[in-house]
Amino acid sequence: MFLQNTLSGEKEKFVPLKDGEVSMYNCGPTVYNYAHIGNLRSYVFADILRRMFEYNKYEVRQIMNVTDIGHLSSDSDEGEDKMTKALKREKKPLTLEAMREVADYYFGKFKKDLKELNIKLPGHFPFASDHIKEDIELVEILTSKGFTYRTSDGIYFDTSKFTGYGKLGNLNQTADTESRIGANLEKKNPRDFAVWKFNSELGYEAPFGKGFPGWHIECSAMSRKYLGQPFDIHTGGVDHIPVHHNNEIAQSETAYNVPLAKYWLHNAFLNIGDNVKMAKSGENFITLKILRKRKIDPLVLRYLFLGARYSSSIQFSWGALDGAQASLAKLREKVKELGNGVSKLDSEVNSKPSVKEYKKKFLAMIDDNLDTAGTLALVWEIVKNDDISDVDRKKLVLNFDKVLGLKLNKKTTVKIPENVKLLVKERDTARSEKDFAKSDELRKKIEQLGFEVKDTSEGTTVNPLKT
């Protein structure tokens, strides 16, 4: 299998550090608010990656961190911390206990989102607040090696001493770095970043002063504790490349003299409106809760994500989501029509030549840097191929769904648009008045909108058109 490694800029053959095992660290949520669907794209990507490895018979050790403390949890070293901002927003006392209370609440909502998106939960969700000891130890190692310096507001990593800084993504770190990281006249270099920020009122005791660990140091400490160093794969969004992930690499490699991770994979943005990244700070974000209120199955969002490579940006619109909803409903309906003789637990494919060829195609696509768009097209091709028996088609599709995670054997209810409902009602009236010419005309209009009507003894039924 081949993966696009941001570290080398090349598509590389995956060779695990340990035969038959994959160790994977996913940058997780900062639990100061609800996750928006742009955030959730990262976790769907990580889930598909895990499922792909498991489909290939690997044992996966997956860790996803939870940032519930720290300074800012953003690329900047200046400004108001997100968790502190959440305490003020919710009128909570400025205490570590209240910070954890807020974090636990939003983490619970985050886990619910993961489950509704059919995302397999990682083996562990380490919280940053439970790993202060490891953070302090790492800061002390960096200091003992002469890679940090002290300012009035914290301990900073001296990036000029790490010759490989910016190697992830082959970045020109002299360009606009100061604007990204924040101006601080005490810094030796605009690229330098905080490994510890002082706070005399709220924070954790440390030999070098009370305060909070920097966001970057938390990930380095937790990934090493649970996966060792190096581990196989580190994932995150493309926004993590310029600063956060380069900072992780700098401090981890400096401290322990070995690479942090072998492969670095990054998913692109989910954009909204005028091709703008969805973000909480921009107040242009949509949550899974909003989708649920609109009676949209969260797996419709998963289907939308799978329609593009993880490394390609997606332009979100309600129209695009409506299209994904109709497509998923049609696909499930076609799977249902293939019969009830195959259960989810009995979805192993047989050895017929045509079936083996389809499985070979699927493996080639999914092992080629997760070509999910190609695999979706392949699934549609299979359900339409009458040259293969219904049982074999259903076995294939459900077998592939072990990776796609769309619950294709799930019964689904289709949301009928209001304009279609009105046309159906008008057609029913025409039929009752025996105006069959008008009835046929309305049927054609309904079909043009992607739906078909059937007249049964129990009344009129409406379903997406079979394609």
Q: Is the pLDDT of residue 6 over 90?
A: yes
Say yes or no to pLDDT of 419 above 80.
Answer: yes
Residue 252 has pLDDT above 90, yes or no: yes
42-56 pLDDT, tens digit per residue, is 999 999 999 999 999
Evaluate whether 14-272 and 294-404 have a shared fold: no
Rounded mean pLDDT, 140-145: 98
What is the model's pLDDT at position 416?
83
Residue 410, marked binder: no
Phi, psi (deg, nearest 5) at residue 377 = -60, -35
What's the confidence (pLDDT) of residue 88? 87
φ/ψ of 135, rounded to 5, equals: -65, -45
Higher pLDDT pick, 458 / 58: 58
Considering the four listed CATH numbers 3.40.710.10, 3.40.50.620, 3.40.50.300, 3.30.470.20, the one that applies to the domain covering 14-272 is 3.40.50.620
Mean residue pLDDT of the chain comes to 89
pLDDT value, residue 120: 98
- pLDDT value at residue 249: 97
pLDDT for the residue numbered 41? 97
- According to DSSP, the β-strands at 314-316 and 270-272 are parallel
pLDDT for res 179: 43
Q: What pLDDT score does 307 carry?
A: 97
Q: Domain residue spans in the chain?
A: 14-272, 294-404, 418-464
Kindly report the pTM of this predicted structure.
Answer: 0.84
Residue 289 labelled as part of a binding site: no
Q: What's residue 70's pLDDT?
A: 63
Tell whether residue 248 is among the known ligand binding residues: yes
User: What is 399-455 written as a DSSP string?
Assistant: HHHHHH---TTS---PPPPHHHHHHHHHHHHHHHTT-HHHHHHHHHHHHHTTEEEEE
* Residue 283 in this model has a pLDDT that exceeds 70: no
Max mean pLDDT range (163-167, 174-178, 350-354)? 163-167
pLDDT confidence tier of residue 12, bands split at 50, 70 and 90: very high
Question: What integer pLDDT is reported at residue 460 of this predicted model?
Answer: 84
CATH 1.20.120.1910 fits 294-404, yes or no: yes
Under the banding of pLDDT at 50, 70 and 90, the label for residue 405 is very high
pLDDT band per the 50, 70, 90 thresholds, residue 412: low
Confidence of residue 173 (pLDDT cuts 50, 70, 90): low
Residues 135, 194: Cα–Cα separation, whole Å: 12
Residue 62 scores a pLDDT above 80? yes
CA angle, residues 289, 290, 292, in degrees to nearest 5: 65
198: three-class secondary structure by DSSP? strand
Contacts of 422 (CB under 8 A, 6+ apart): none
Name the pLDDT band for 273 (thresholds 50, 70, 90): confident
Q: Is the pLDDT of residue 155 over 90?
A: yes
